[in-house]
Structure formats: structure tokens, C-alpha cells
Chains A and B, each alone.
Chain A
Amino acid sequence: MTVNQISIFLENKYGTLSEILGFLSEENIRIVAATIADTSEFGILRIIVSDPQKAINIFKKHNVTAYLSDVLAIICDSASGSFARTLSYFTKAGLTIEYMYSFSIDGKSLLVLRTNNREAALEVIRRQNLDSLNENDLLKL
């Protein structure tokens, strides 16, 4: 029910994203989702890739400090109201959403989210019978 996400601290080291993305494309790793957010102080790149373990090894080889964490990747339909309803399951369970990124395609929406309580979030997914991705699904995307 969770997928691995790789985070990379960007400040000062990488002029452009393309350098990092280049390391991955050289070795045929696909990027499923990506986001960068920054404050005025620093920026963090988060990516979900088709083979996170291989990606971590590639980054190690290139001296890039990368951090592996897990996030929820939920699929819901992209009808209006779906998104709000799905999120409300989490907030009603008392969880806060630390960050989230999402997009819709072909009538479906992919929501990547990180809450403040992994176990409670997994419980919400089970109880509400939400559709979610796991590592194997990623390889198929």
C-alpha cells in the first residue's frame, strides 16, 4: 500500500534538475511522479521511480545524497468530489497531511501523500477500501 519515494536536498549542489534526471535516464529508470518545492532557504526534490533501490545505488555512485522514505499512492477516480472525499477520510481520522502531489489522467487520479502517522493512514486505506499502488504496480506504469 505504500511506495518508496526518494528525496534529494538540492541546495548549492545541482544547477539544474537535468543532471539528476540524467543519472536516472542513463540507466533506464522511469520517473512516475516528481515534485520540487522550495522555501527561500532550500529546495527538496521528491521523486517516485520505477526501481527505487536501483535509483538509490545510482545516486550513491554519483555522490548524490538521497533519502528513501515511503508515501501512500492512492488511486481514485477523477470525477468531481472524489478528490475531496478521499482526502476527508484521512483528515476525519485525525491525520494531518504533511505534503501531497497528484495528477489525473484517463479518468483516474493518482494521489501521492504523506501523513503524520503511517499506521493510521494504512488503516484508513483498509477501512475505506481505497485503491492504492504498491511497488510492483509502479514497475507496470
Chain B
Amino acid sequence: MNEYWQEEFETMSRKDIEKLQLERLKQTMELCTNSPYYQKVFKEKGITTDSVKSLDDVQKLPFTTKDDLRNNYPFGLAAIPLKDCIRIHCSSGTTGNPTVVLHSRKDIDEWANQVARNIYMVGTRDTDVFQNTSGYGMFTGGLGFQYGAEKVGCLTVPAGAGNTKRQIKFMIDYGTTSVHIIPSYATRLAEVMFEEGIDPRRDTKLVRLFIGAEPHSEEQRKRIEQLLGVKAYNSFGMSEMCGPGVAFECPEQNGMHIWEDYYIVEIVDPITLEPVPDGTYGEMVLTTLRREAMPLIRYRTRDLTCILPGDCPCGRTHKRLARFRGRSDDMIILKGVNIFPIQIEKILMKFKELGSNFLITLDTVKNNDEMLIEVELSDLYTDNYSVLQKLASSVTRQLKDELLITPKLKLVAKGSLPSQEGGKAVRVKDLRKLC
């Protein structure tokens, strides 16, 4: 079946990929010299474009971390004048500042191309009707898939997140064939369909889902496929790289091809930061090769994965990433939204009525992923119900504004939560079954 969006790039020989990567790495480093942050870093480490003579030399370059982005908020990593940037996307911050990612017009076009390449790879054509259930606005899953699907020529339904009955109505009425959705919502969608007596196979034209934004198991994917009568393809993206479009499964559904004409991918040991061989899990480090507004050198993604060795029968020569195993930091992903425990701590600490001990529990309740935050009261300062209830609402509202999801908040008595063991508080309990 294999039809390629860009055959020349997708089936390029390994030798040609590496030649292309070296050429684009040098261009990227040249660009980086215009960014205040990299200018400083290159000067400190004595790095110039000549420092890189072969692809292996990428290991000589310094890592870039999310903290570097935060510490240079908002525009410290811009490599082109701000007037040539046409969009900002930002994602969760942990210390009050989000992470800003800038895009030029060319960046936006390339990003759309990446997404188009992905969805075309799994059979999406201009005769398809594409529905996007991702939030829009700052979430890159919204506009990212929107532009990519439009590039392929799909009839797009920019539904946005939530309102399941409405999503289903659109799918039935508009003949949606392809959907971008997070895996936990896909199971919810199936559940509501069954409650309404809707048989997806009989009553909808759904053919394929693009699932991502949160880790999920092979079992969960198969279950989603079986429930909705579709094929579900794993999609990987990261706002710092552009958004969705970084890696995607081909019809083989055995690993996600990561586009090596767009990124140099390294897998390193998260502690020693030394490269590990293909087939060994480690932290993925990405260097952008096409981005011009905000190029990134050796960005530590904190995602744990490995390169699947061997060739793919689909004929695409770009390496494949295994299912992500977790993170090398404490970030939580709930309903596709990134959350750091420290964001929660920061808000709870603002309230003098609350103590310093709290516990986050993640669980799946009736197919919905939920977060429960139990927080101890400081010495009971009041015994007035309405004051305590107002406190609970006020804390919940601030949490919702910061986290973009609404957690369940429970006030508990001081001293009732498991105390810190050996100085490190156990803050998060994840009871969700990866199916």
C-alpha cells in the first residue's frame, strides 16, 4: 500500500540521511549564533561551527534543558528577529514561567509538512474527514494537527476538547474518518457511544485514530481499536520540537519513525549522559535541523525510550522509537496535559491555612483519569464549615487555573498523610492501569 508523502526523504539511504544531517546541523549551529543564549554558551565552551566536522561531533555540543528555556524566558533562545516570528506556543512551567517556543512562517510550514507526512503515511487523503479532539490555543496538538490535515486536503472538523456527545454527533453527521485523540479519551468516547446505543462500525465512518500525548500500553491501543473498529496509530510530539509531527507509526504499527531529516536523535543514559546502543532504553535527546526561530541543540526531552534495531518493511529508512516507558523527571501526564508536582506545591504553599504535607493520587474512575490531591490543614484555625468550604473552593480554583485540569481536592487532618520517609516526601501515587 505504501504511498509516501515525500518518497525521496522518507526512503533516503542511511548514508544520504547522515550527509543531510551533518549539512543541516552546521546550518543550525550557524543560526544558533544569533540566539543570545547559545551565543553565550558557545563562547563559554569555545564552540564554533567548525567544532562539528562529523555527525559524531554532535556529542561535543552542550545539552539544553527545560530549565535553560525557563531561565531565558521569554525570548532568550530566539535565533531570528522577533518581527519574523509569527507564533508563540507555550507549555507548562514549574516555577511560574511557562516554556515559550517561537515559530517563523517557515517553521509553521515545516511543522505542517511533518504532520501531513505522518497522517498520509497511514492512509489519510484529501477525501478524508478529520476531527481534532485536542484543545486548541496554546496546546500544539490543536493547531499542529489542524495545519497538517489541511495540508493533506482533508475536510477538517476543529472540534476542540470535551463535550463527548457533540463530538459523536459531528462524527456521525459529518462522516468523520480520522480523529486525533488522547488514548484515555478514546475509551471514554467508546463508552458514551455504547451508552447511547451507537455502534461505531455501523453508525460512523471512523477508520483511523492518531493517539498520543500520554503514555499508553499496546493492550490499551488494541482495546481502543477493537472498541471503535479502527486502526490507532501512535503519534509523538513535543512543543519544543514544534508540536505533534516529530515521530509517528507507519502501517506496521511497530515503533514510531522519527524524522531524521528534521532531527538528530540520540539516546543517552539519564545519569551519565553517555550514549547507549540501539535497543537499550535511555533518555531521548533531540537536535533540531530545520527550525529557525528557535533551534535547539541536544535538548534533553526527559522521555525514556529506545531505538528499535532493524529495517522496517514499510521501506522508510528513518529510525523507529519504541513505546515510551516513562520520564526521567517527575512530570505527570493526565488527560494529555503535562503537570509537575511542584506546580501544585507552589499553590498549596500560598495558603497559610494549609500544612506542607500533601499527596497526589492518579486513578482511573469509570474510564476517566482523575487526580485527587489530599492536603493537610495546618493547625485548625477555624471550625466554621463555610470558611473551610470556601477555602477548598478557592484552592481548587487556583489549581484549575494553573494546571488546566480540575483536580479533586480533599482537606485532611494534620498528621494524617504518610510522613516523609528519609526526607523525601512521596508526593505522587499513580494507580492508573496502563490497561
Contacts and interface: CB of A to CB of B under 8 A. Distances in A.
A joins B in a complex: yes
Interface of A: 7-14, 37, 39, 41-42, 44, 46, 63, 65-67, 69, 98
Given A44-B385, A66-B380, 20 more contacts: A7-B383, A9-B414, A10-B413, A11-B413, A12-B413, A13-B412, A13-B415, A13-B416, A39-B389, A41-B389, A42-B412, A44-B383, A46-B383, A65-B413, A65-B414, A65-B415, A67-B379, A67-B382, A67-B383, A69-B383
B388 A42 contact: yes
Nearest to A39: B385
A41 B414 contact: no
A9 B374 CA distance: 14
18 contacts: A9-B377, A9-B380, A9-B414, A11-B413, A12-B374, A12-B413, A37-B385, A39-B385, A41-B389, A41-B411, A42-B410, A65-B377, A65-B413, A65-B414, A67-B379, A67-B380, A69-B383, A98-B384
Contacts of A66: 380
Interface string B361-391: 0000000000000100101111111001100
Given A9-B377, A12-B416, A41 B410 contact: yes
Interface residues of B, number: 20
B347 interface: no
A107 to B, nearest CB: 31
Contacts of A10: 413
A63 B379 CA distance: 11
Contacts of A98: 384
Q: Name B's interface SS.
A: loop
B380 A8 contact: yes
Nearest to A99: B385
A41 B412 CA distance: 10
Nearest to A10: B413
B415 A63 contact: yes
Given A67-B381, A67-B383, A98-B384, A9 B392 contact: no
Nearest to B377: A9
A37 B381 CA distance: 18
A63 B380 CA distance: 12
B69 to A, nearest CB: 39
B273 to A, nearest CB: 42
A56 to B, nearest CB: 12
B413 A7 contact: no
Contacts of A8: 380
Contacts of B377: 9, 65
B93 to A, nearest CB: 30
B380 A7 contact: yes
